[in-house]
A and B are shown apart, each in its own frame.
Chain A
Amino acid sequence: MALIQVRLPPEATLSDALRLLGLSDEDADPDYGLVAIAPGLQVLRVTEEAARRVSRDHADVFSDPRIEPGDG
């Protein structure tokens, strides 16, 4: 998976983001949705293949690496 960061109004939906990016419903994780990280700045979770198709004019693509608990 990859994280796509977009700039949309606070009331924007996942459909709005997909439309902006030219992606289909299957490209994104609908359960994850569109998550606000700061005013006017949101992220969605998409497949890595979809991330490669996204135009950098509309969005920034970030890694979504695995995180793990630390054990001694």
Chain B
Amino acid sequence: MRVLIQLRPAPDVVASVIDPGVRSAVADVVADLPGVLLDEAFTPVAVPRPVSPHGDLLAPHQRPRFSMAPEDASVLVRGEISDGELSLRSALLSSSVREVAGVYADPYIQGHPTCGGDGPVGDWEEVRRLLHAYDLWSAGHDGEGVAVAIVDSGINADHIAARLGHDVTIDADRSWSPPGVNKTPGHYPVDHGSMCAFDALLAAPKATLLDIPILLSRQDGVDGLLSDAVAAYAHLNNVLRAMPADSRALVVSNSWGLFSPRMDFPPGHPGNYSDNPAHPFNVIVGSLEGAGADILFSAGNCGRDCPDRRCGFRDRTIVGANSHPDVLSVGGVDTRGERVGYSSQGPGRLSERKPDLCAYTHFAGSEAVGAADTGTSAACPVAAGVVAAVRTQRSAAELSPAQLRTLLHRTADDRSTVGFDHDYGYGVIDPPAILAALGRQNRSRAA
């Protein structure tokens, strides 16, 4: 987290910061602060001290005066503290470093981030450029032979093919539908699932899609129950185990989640889902990943700047399997690389370090749900496509799902300067860096 640190150095140091004829640097004010990455580019700023002839510095109904005298004024410097150490470091700094008078948040004050109702930022061809998709394909990473399960509301293959300008492969035999939903893979109405399929094909156009329309299920007047996802994953487990053990490649993209705690048992109850790794869906997620599947979940659209109106969790909004330690939780950035305001922030409920990373969203794309492919719903399949592209030449036997997640963490384009943070995770997914890392692995294996 970025912070402003208020210091009270010796009056002569403050005097030089105040002096417009002197250009002070951070090192002139403070040598080092433990646990803080000081921003050397930030020129220290002198801040006056409120004073009152009555001794009551900031009494209401009294207009304060301010003193910029070196013995009164303080100096602000800027830095960054790792999210995980924030509370401890802040307390330690204030208590153990004599010059530190306070540690304050330094939030971004840029224009409002991209929100749900905003128009598209860039288009799908720009996303392909940002993903360096053409470099992926020329290196043989185009998704051919890789199964990508779109667990959503069904795919309309004709619509996607028309938008992309090339054929789309749907594997009807390995697709599945929940009880009460006709099994017509690739022929469902154009909707959210078609957007997800389109976005997965941006990086992996030759992937084979498995159509898993769990969100079309209807039970007791409710669309889509978690039990449908349990049954879908049992099917995917069979699909995966039917693949030869040395060439397994199954990517599972999930752009859905639990928005409200109202239909769940409360955290702490043994039947709870949101916080409970023992819930059957969380168990089967771990089981499928353990068998070799790469599972991706959208982080959710409950970011603090502009949450979806359905968001019912007050804090820790990445819940249930979306925060599972064995999945890749995907947040969203627009094509400018800025986090979209609705992208859920960590920590997650099942695993602290969520989201894992971010991928592109909010661009003009499939035209399946409106002008823009929005939400972390779009970011998740964009990342799934990159994973499928990697899997073209690396089966789960060669690179386990856990190893692949580590590779994605390590190569992500860090959006802060201290590694992981709860807004962007490890950063924005970065296919050129992934290719470079795979190339290094190839060379070391050949040597």
Interface set of A (CB-CB < 8 Å, partner B):
1-3, 5, 29, 31-32, 35-38, 41, 43, 45, 60-72
B310 contacts A68, CB within 8 Å? yes
Chain A nearest CB: distance from B56 CB in Å? 49
B283 contacts A69, CB within 8 Å?
A: no
In the complex where A36-B234, A63-B263, A64-B227 touch, is A71 in contact with B280 (Cβ < 8 A)?
no
Judging by beta carbons under 8 Å apart, are A62 and B300 in contact?
Answer: no
A3 and B283 CA atoms in complex are apart in Å by: 13
Which of A3, A63, A67, A70 lies in contact with B375, CB distance below 8 A?
A70
Interface of A, secondary structure class, is strand
Contact of A72 among B152, B215, B263, B301 (CB under 8 A): B301
Are A32 and B179 closer than 8 Å at their CB atoms?
A: yes
CA of A60 to CA of B259, assembled, Å: 24
CA distance A3 to B263 in the complex (A): 13
Asked if B259 contacts A72 (CB within 8 A), the reply is no
Do A67 and B374 contact each other (CB < 8 Å), given the known contacts A3-B227, A37-B234? no
Task: Bits for B366-399, please: 1 = Cβ < 8 Å to A, else 0.
Answer: 0001001011111000000000000000000000
- Cα distance A67–B259 when bound, in Å? 7
**In the complex, chain A residues whose CB is within 8 Å of the CB of B255:** 69-70
Residue B102 at the chain A interface, CB threshold 8 Å: no
B220-242 interface (Cβ within 8 A of A): 220, 222-231, 233-234, 237
A60 touches B271 (CB 8 A): yes
Q: In the complex, what residues of A have CB within 8 A of residue B256's CB?
A: 67-70
Residues of B contacting A71 in the complex (Cβ-Cβ under 8 angstroms): 116, 192, 301, 308, 369, 374-375, 377
Q: How far is the CB of B35 from chain A (nearest CB, A)?
A: 36
Is B107 close to A, CB under 8 A? Answer: no
Q: Which residues of A contact B300 (CB under 8 A)?
A: 70
Those of B249-268 within 8 Å (CB) of chain A: 255-260, 263-265
With A and B bound together, what is the CA distance between A45 and B217 in angstroms?
14
Checking B264, B280, B308 against A65 with a beta-carbon cut-off of 8 angstroms, the contacting residue is B264
Task: Decide: A38 near B223, CB < 8 A? Known: A63-B273, A66-B263, A72-B361.
Answer: no
Q: How far is the CA of A29 from the CA of B280 in the complex (A)?
A: 17
- Beyond the given A45-B225, A64-B227, A66-B260, please list 9 additional residue pairs across the A-B interface where CB-CB is below 8 A: A31-B179, A65-B258, A67-B257, A68-B259, A69-B256, A70-B298, A72-B301, A72-B377, A72-B378
> For residue A43, which residues in chain B have a CB less than 8 angstroms away from its CB?
227, 230, 280
Chain A residues near B310 (CB, 8 Å)?
68
Count residues of chain B with CB under 8 A from any CB of chain A. 61
B234 to chain A, nearest CB (A): 5
Query: Which residues of chain B are near A45, meaning CB under 8 Å?
Result: 219, 225, 227
Q: A31 and B180: CB pair below 8 A? A: yes
Asked whether, in the complex, the Cβ of B230 is within 8 Å of the Cβ of A35, the reply is yes
Q: How far is the CA of A2 from the CA of B223 in the complex (A)?
A: 15
Contact B265–A63 (Cβ < 8 Å): yes
Complex formed: what's the CA distance from A62 to B264 in Å?
9
B153 in contact (CB, < 8 A):
yes
Q: List 15 A-B contacts (CB under 8 A).
A: A32-B227, A41-B280, A43-B230, A60-B278, A62-B280, A64-B226, A66-B258, A67-B258, A69-B256, A70-B256, A70-B301, A71-B369, A72-B115, A72-B116, A72-B308
Instruction: Check A65–B225 contact: CB distance below 8 A.
Output: yes
B279 interface residue per 8 A CB criterion: yes
Q: Is B133 positioned at the interface, with any CB of A under 8 Å from its CB?
A: no
Do residues B215 and A69 form an inter-chain contact, with CB atoms below 8 A? yes
A67 touching B219 in the complex, CB below 8 Å, given contacts A38-B287, A41-B283, A72-B340: no
Distance (Å) between the CB of A21 and the closest chain B CB? 15
A-B pairs with lowest CB-CB distance, top 3: A72-B374, A31-B179, A65-B263
Report chain B residues within 8 Å CB of A3. 226-227, 230, 280
B375 engages A66 (CB within 8 Å): no
- Residues on A with C-beta less than 8 A from B405 are none
Distance between A41 CB and nearest chain B CB, rounded to angstroms: 7
Q: Complex: how many Å from CA A41 to CA B234?
A: 12
Q: What residues on A are CB-neighbors of B225 within 8 Å?
A: 1, 45, 64-67
